[in-house]
Amino acid sequence: MMNTDMLWDPLRRKSVAATPEEEVRQWFISAVLHMGMKVPEHMMGSEVSLVQGEKRFRADIVVYGRDAAPLMIVECKRPDVPLDQDVVDQAIRYNNILNVKYIAITNGVKTFLFGRTGEGFRFLEKAPSWEEMV
């Protein structure tokens, strides 16, 4: 019998609690990144530990380039959490550590993608493929 309170995370290679945020994370890994943007599974990490000074953070999803350098940060929220400035600021804090080219924020209902332009980021109308990102 299958435990419906758990979801398989192919990146962490283990079952994890099926919280609303985790459902969004697993949907994004599978449907958007792997199938949509053609990101190879081995080029993604979930719940990636980050350290800045004394502070510890966990990025929901990090996509890596061929050189294993971080390429994209994805911040996932539950479907009932609005994608407001606080969520953008959280992703930008993680970017201050990782220095990525792309940022995505999603609650499973809405998804916003941003690409680096010089010192800042701009909204992207369309998700680039992993090949385009690298």
Percent of the chain with pLDDT over 90: 94
Q: How far apart are CA 43 and CA 26, in angstroms?
A: 15
- pTM summary value: 0.94
Domain ranges within the chain, ordered by starting residue:
6-133
Smallest Cα–Cα separation from 61: which of 39, 36, 84? 39
Q: How far apart are CA 63 and CA 69, in angstroms?
A: 9
pLDDT in tens, 26-53: 999 999 999 999 999 999 999 999 998 9
Q: 101, exposed or middle or buried, with CB in 10 Å at 0-12, 13-18, 19+?
A: buried
Residue 8 has pLDDT above 90, yes or no: yes
Average pLDDT over residues 90-108: 95
**Cβ–Cβ under 8 Å, residues 44 and 61:** yes
Q: How far apart are CA 21 and CA 53, in angstroms?
A: 27
Residue 2 has pLDDT above 90, yes or no: no
Q: How is domain 6-133 classified at the CATH fold level?
A: tt1808, chain A (3.90.1570)
Mean pLDDT, the chain, rounded, equals 94
pLDDT at 3: 56
pLDDT at 1: 45
CB neighbour list of residue 128: distance below 8 Å, 6 or more residues apart: 37, 102, 115
For the chain, the residue count is: 134
Residue 9 has pLDDT above 70, yes or no: yes
Average pLDDT over residues 55-74: 96
| pLDDT tier for residue 119 given thresholds of 50, 70 and 90 | confident
